[in-house]
């Protein structure tokens, strides 16, 4: 029989290992179907144990983590690798890098702020890519 220390709510664990900034964000992601276990969306109250693999949709990337250890309280970022293993494929992180490169704007130093017309032109170019 498992004790209470072997299980924890998924929203609390996601918050504790810093995948989400607040526990409320973690719960909202669960309710919104962005957190899955074995391909099934889970509720925030779902209890998880060690060795569970979780899929979390964070923006455009789909992050996969394996629970190494169940914890109750939020820990520092340095301790997170001891608590979970990142199984996310490198291609997902490459998607994020490509998005950053595509959205980057380059202005020469000393040119100053864009005018209203410049801003409209920039916005039109960004909208045309979508």
Question: Taking the chain (130 residues) in consecutive chunks of 10 residues, what is each chunk's mean pLDDT?
Answer: 72 96 96 96 95 94 94 93 94 87 76 89 75
Tokens of 12: 């609390």
If you count them, how many residues does the chain have? 130
Which pTM value belongs to this model? 0.75
pLDDT of res. 101? 78
Domains of the chain, earliest start first:
4-105 (3.10.290.10)
Among residues 61, 55, 129, which one has the least CA distance to residue 95?
Answer: 61
pLDDT of res. 129? 55
H or E stretch covering 11: helix 10-16
How far, in Å, are 18, 58, 81, 111, 124 from residue 77 at the CA level? 7, 18, 8, 39, 39
Give the integer Cα–Cα distance in Å for 11 and 8.
9
């Amino acid at each position: 029989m498992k004790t209470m220390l072997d299980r924890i709510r998924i929203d609390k664990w996601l918050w504790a290992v810093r995948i989400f900034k607040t526990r409320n964000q973690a719960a909202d992601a669960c309710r919104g179907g962005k957190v899955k276990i074995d391909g099934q969306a889970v509720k925030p109250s779902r209890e998880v144990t060690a060795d569970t693999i979780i899929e979390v949709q964070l923006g455009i990337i789909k992050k996969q983590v394996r629970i190494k250890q169940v914890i109750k309280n939020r820990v520092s970022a340095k301790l997170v690798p001891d608590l979970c293993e990142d199984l996310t494929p490198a291609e997902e992180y490459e998607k994020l890098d490509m998005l950053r490169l595509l959205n980057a704007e380059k202005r020469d130093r000393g040119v100053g702020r864009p005018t209203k017309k410049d801003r409209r032109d920039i916005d039109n170019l960004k909208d045309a890519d979508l």
